[in-house]
Structures are given as structure tokens and as C-alpha cells.
Amino acid sequence: MAETQQQRPGRATAGQDGPARPPLWRDVRVLRGVLQVGFLVATVALVQWLFGNLTSNLDRLGIRRDFTFLDQPAGFSILGAPDFRAQDTIQNALLLGLGNAVRVAILGVLLSLLIGIVVGVARLSKNWLVARSASAYVELLRNIPPLVLVIFFYLGVLATLPRLTEATFLGDVAIISNRGIWVAWLTFGDGSQPFLTAAAVALVVALGVARWRTTVFDRTGTPHRRVLWAAATFAVVTALAFSVLQPPIEPSLPVLDGRVVTGGAWLYPEYLSLLLSLVLYASSFIAEIVRGSILAVHKGQNEAADALGLSSSQRMRYVILPQALRIAAPAIGNEFLNLTKNVSLGIAVGFAEILRVANTAAGNGQPAPQLLIVVLGAYLFLSLIISVIVNVFNRRLQLVER
């Protein structure tokens, strides 16, 4: 009681001339403000100093500082893009490189996810041999630098294949040589555009059907069979479109004619070695994530599935994997990001992704700083897109808390 009484006079004076403020140099609010402003000023000053040096150095050396060089003719050709001519602009060359990078990234993500899930599940197999083989796969691949893999596949494997004149033929569908592998593919002639559009529409319709089946299942409980329904829808619509539009699409088989292969799809060594190594490397990490996530699903879920009398594949498919996926999704997304960034390893074997194109342009006397800004920007943009997709996916997977 005595203390509260002693406090009173103090409080009274505080009431008279506003809240008692400590001196400025001990006021937390002032200090915080000053600290932040100081920090910001220091950061801005550092960045400004760096870029000031950059501009003055570039001016001193007579290097241009704008981005107009993007419209100049490139002056070099690009591997795997026979349509690209030296007089096309640098901008187009960079876009082509970006397209190549995106193509490898998308294929790599899909393949590594597939292999990663299979190997991850195999590591937990009851079959000793399968489990050990899967462990060996993971331990072998994730402890080797990916660049070693790329170079090994490029120089050690694909370059040792027979020469084109002595190429190995797999029937009519594939030609295997050290200049690359040609496989049967489709040629899309002029005028196949409407059909491709129709196919895209068919895909959207099929997804809609799958969704509709899901809502029907949720409402009535009848078996949804959404995959079957969607596939049937897609097949029917594309078949209809094909018969109506008669698109000029034909199968194209690779044919060796002297020293030139015509037809088919050319998987050139640079592309193949990069894709293979990225897929093997990323899949070993994804397998480990999948295994960890399956083990992280609560034991009771397994027992509950057993109690319901589910078979082991049903238990995996309906109980364990959906829950494991929720745990694994962020980590797998991270691996996708790593894979996308690792596409730039292609430069070691001369695969024409965007960094390689920029490097070639820089070698031709184009300004390196701007080119690298473009490349960094492109990769940051790709990373951003992937994180957005992964985040959306994550949010949909999250448990709805009740």
C-alpha cells in the first residue's frame, strides 16, 4: 500500500505535463526510428556506391550502359535450333535459351518426381533386395556433385556411343549414335493449329468432367471413377476433332541417309546428358523426402487402414500417400527450385540455355553486366513462378482445420 501511495505524486505530475518521456537518446521509439533510418541509409549508400562504381567504370571503358544491344543481330548460331540464324536479334536468342531452360526444367521436374516417388516407396519395401537397391540408388547419386554427373554422361557415356555411320538401330523407331539419339515422333504440318487448340479444349473439358465426378461423389457417394471419365472424355473429343479437322499430323520415323538423319525427334547429347543428370540427382533427393514423409505419417493411420481391411496397396494409395504428400510438398517444391536452377549446369557441356546464350553473346563483345542482369532476372522469375505454383498446391493440400 505504501508503495502505491508513493507512486501517486509521480503519476500526478505525469498527468499534468503529458506522459513522462525519457530523454530522446533513451527513448525506445526514437532509437528504433534512428536505427532503422541509419540502417537503410547505410544500405542505400552501399548499393549506390557499388552501382556508381559500375557506371563510372563502364563509362571509362567505353562499354554501353543501356539495353538497346538486345535488338542487334546475335551473330552466332544456337545448338539444337536450326531455325535460328545469325542475323536474328540477341533478344530472340535469349528467349530461345530461356525456352530451352524451361523445357528441360519441366521435363526434369516431371521425371524426377515420378522416379523419386517410386524409389522413395521402394526404399520402404519389405523386399530386402528392392529396399537395398533403392538405398544404393539414393546414396550413390546424392553424394556426387551434379556437374560430375553431367560431364560423365556427356563425355563418358554418350560420346562413347557408336559413330553415326555405325549407329545402332532399334527397329525403325530409334537411332542411337554419338551424335545423339533420334526417336520416332510426330510431325505437325501447317494447319494443325486448330486441332491442337481443340486438344487443349478437350483437356480443359476433361478436367471439368473429373471435377464434376468428384462433386457427384462427394454428394452421393457413388464411385467417382474420375480418371476413367476424364480420359474417356479427352479421347472422345480429340478423336472427334481429329476426324472432323483432318490435321496434317503424321508419325515421323528417323531415317539415316548417309551422314544425315531426317525425321524423328533429335535428343542431342548436350540435352540428354543434362536432362539425365538433373533427373537422377533430383530424384535421389525427392526419394529421400518421400521416404521421410511416409515414415512421418502417424503409425495409427497404418493400423487404422489395416483394421479397415485394406490391402497394402490400397493402404498406400488411399491412406498413407495422400497424407505423406502433404508433409512432402514444401520440401519437394524446394527440390524443383534446385533442379530449375541447376539447368544452368548445361553451360558445362554447351547446352544452349539462357546463361550459355548470354555467355556467347558476351564473348561476341556484348556488355556482360546487362546480359547477366537479364539471366539473373530470368532465373529469379522462373523461381518465383515455381514457388507460386508450389504455394498454391500447398495451400490446397493443407488440412482444413475445423
For residue 101, the minimal CB distance to other proteins (Å) is 10
Minimum CB separation from other proteins for residue 263, in Å?
31
Q: How many residues bind other proteins (CB under 8 A)?
A: 55
Residue from 102, 368, 390, 397 in contact with other proteins (CB under 8 A): 368
**CB distance 298 to 316 below 8 Å:** no
| Segment 204 to 263, residues that bind other proteins, using CB under 8 A | none
- Choose the stretch contacting other proteins; rule: CB under 8 A; options: 2-10, 187-195, 196-204, 373-381: 373-381
Applying CB under 8 A, the span of 66-74, 317-325, 354-362, 391-399 interacting with other proteins comes to 354-362
Contact partners, residue 190, CB within 8 Å, separation at least 6 = 248
Is position 162 an interface residue for other proteins (rule: CB under 8 A)?
no
Among the listed residues 21, 29, 32, 211, the single contact to other proteins using CB under 8 A: 32
Contact 362, 368 (CB under 8 A): yes
In this structure, which amino acid lies at residue 381?
A: F
CB of 45 to other proteins, least distance (A): 12
Candidates 4, 160, 165, 220: give the one binding other proteins (CB under 8 A): 160
**Which of the residues 123 through 152 are near other proteins (CB under 8 A)?**
125-130, 133, 139-140, 142-148, 151-152
Query: 276 and 111 in contact (C-beta within 8 Å)?
Result: no
Residue 252 or 338: which CB sits closer to other proteins? 338
Q: How far is the CB of 136 from other proteins (least distance, A)?
A: 9
Q: Are 150 and 217 in contact (CB under 8 A)?
A: no
Write out the binding residues for other proteins, residues 278-337 only, by CB under 8 A: none
Q: Which helix (H) or strand (E) holds 57?
A: helix 28-61
Rounded to whole angstroms, the Cα distance separating 198 from 25 reads 71
- For other proteins, the closer of residues 151 and 245 by Cβ is 151
Grid coordinates standing for 216? 457427384
Place of cell 525506445: 28
Alpha carbons 264 and 57: distance in angstroms, whole number? 50
Let me know: does 328 contact 336? Beta carbons within 8 Å.
Answer: no
**Cell triple for 239:** 478423336
* CB closer to other proteins out of 149 and 206: 149
Collapsing DSSP states into helix, strand and coil, what is residue 175? strand
| Spatial contact of 250 and 195, defined as CB atoms under 8 Å apart | no
Structure letter (DSSP) for residue 164: G
Closest CB 33 distance from other proteins, rounded Å? 9
Of 114, 155, 244, 308, the residue at the interface with other proteins (CB under 8 A) is 155
| Residue number with CB closer to other proteins (235 or 384) | 384
Give rounded-to-5 percent helix, strand, coil for the chain. Answer: 70, 5, 20
Among 7, 43, 197, 398, binds other proteins (CB under 8 A): 43
Identify which of residues 249 and 372 has a Cβ nearer to other proteins in the complex: 372
Regarding 372 and contact with other proteins (CB under 8 A), the answer is yes
369: exposed, middle or buried (Cβ count in 10 Å: 0-12, 13-18, 19+): middle
Helix axes 354-363, 368-397, angle to 10 degrees: 170
With 0-12 / 13-18 / 19 or more C-beta atoms within 10 angstroms meaning exposed / middle / buried, residue 308 is: exposed
Residues 374-393, one symbol each (x = binds other proteins by CB under 8 A, - = not), give: -xx--xx--xx---------
Q: Which residues have a Cβ under 8 Å from the Cβ of 24 and sit 6 or more positions away?
A: 30
Compute the least distance from the CB of residue 116 to other proteins, in Å: 18
Residue 80 CB, shortest distance to other proteins, in Å, is 19
Give 222 or 313: the residue with its C-beta nearer to other proteins: 313
* Residues contributing to the site for other proteins (CB under 8 A): 32, 35-37, 39-40, 43, 50-51, 53-54, 56-58, 60, 125-130, 133, 139-140, 142-148, 151-152, 155-156, 160, 341-345, 347-348, 355, 359, 362, 368-369, 372, 375-376, 379-380, 383-384
